[in-house]
Copies of this chain bind each other. A is one copy, B any other.
């Protein structure tokens, strides 16, 4: 669901659209384009890296929740809430993760509606192998910004968020 992928929509093209649509503010759109394009690139890169280990953004988000509390069992609902996706999507992700032996499903002892999910031993090993290069990549991505610049970036992003209409609820993260 990303908007900008190529450079086909350069400034020149933008000017042409602006001729037809008076509401178009070129400066706003250019800034947004850069923003979305960068986020697409960053996202793709991380996704590509996880792909080497058979993981995906969706999978890693769910796995990380379990990784930080290793011994605990989680219900699909709990995972859905923590990750910010629907229960239906979690079911689909778990199907794959169980198939690949990364996670195990168990019946809940008291409530027969529920299922309990936990990382398998192999799942933990996988994460121990995947996470170091994952975070190394993130550190590398940010290495061009010093602490001041990072704060400044976060500050600008927060300013954008303040202009989001309230009804647009937000859910998550994957560190």
- What residues of chain A have their CB less than 8 Å away from a CB belonging to chain B? 1-9, 13-14, 16-17, 20-25, 27-48, 57-58, 61, 64-65, 67-68, 81-85, 131-133, 135-136, 138-145, 147, 149-150, 152-154, 156-165, 168, 170-175
**CB distance B164 to A45 under 8 Å?**
yes
Q: In the complex the two chains form, is B23's CB within 8 Å of A135's CB? A: yes
Q: Is the CB of A42 within 8 A of B35?
A: yes
Copies of this protein chain in the complex:
2
CB distance from A132 to the nearest CB of B (A): 4
Question: Is the CB–CB distance between B156 and A149 below 8 Å?
Answer: yes
Closest to A25 in B: B139
A140 touches B163 (CB 8 A): yes
Q: A25-B142, A28-B138, A41-B164 are in contact. Are A173 and B9 (CB under 8 A)?
A: yes
Inter-subunit contact A6/B172 (CB<8 Å): yes
CB-based nearest B residue for A45? B168
Contacts A/B (CB < 8 Å), 26 sampled: A1-B58, A3-B174, A8-B82, A8-B83, A8-B172, A9-B173, A9-B174, A17-B175, A23-B131, A23-B135, A25-B135, A25-B138, A27-B150, A28-B138, A31-B145, A32-B142, A33-B173, A35-B42, A36-B43, A40-B170, A40-B172, A141-B163, A145-B156, A145-B159, A149-B156, A153-B153
Please determine whether B65 and A168 come into contact, CB atoms closer than 8 angstroms.
no
Is B143 within 8 A of A37, CB to CB? no
Q: Which residues of B contact A42 (CB under 8 A)?
A: 32, 35-36, 160, 164
Q: Which residues of the other chain, B, contact A149 by a CB distance below 8 angstroms? A: 156, 159
A1 and B147 alpha carbons, distance in the complex (Å): 28
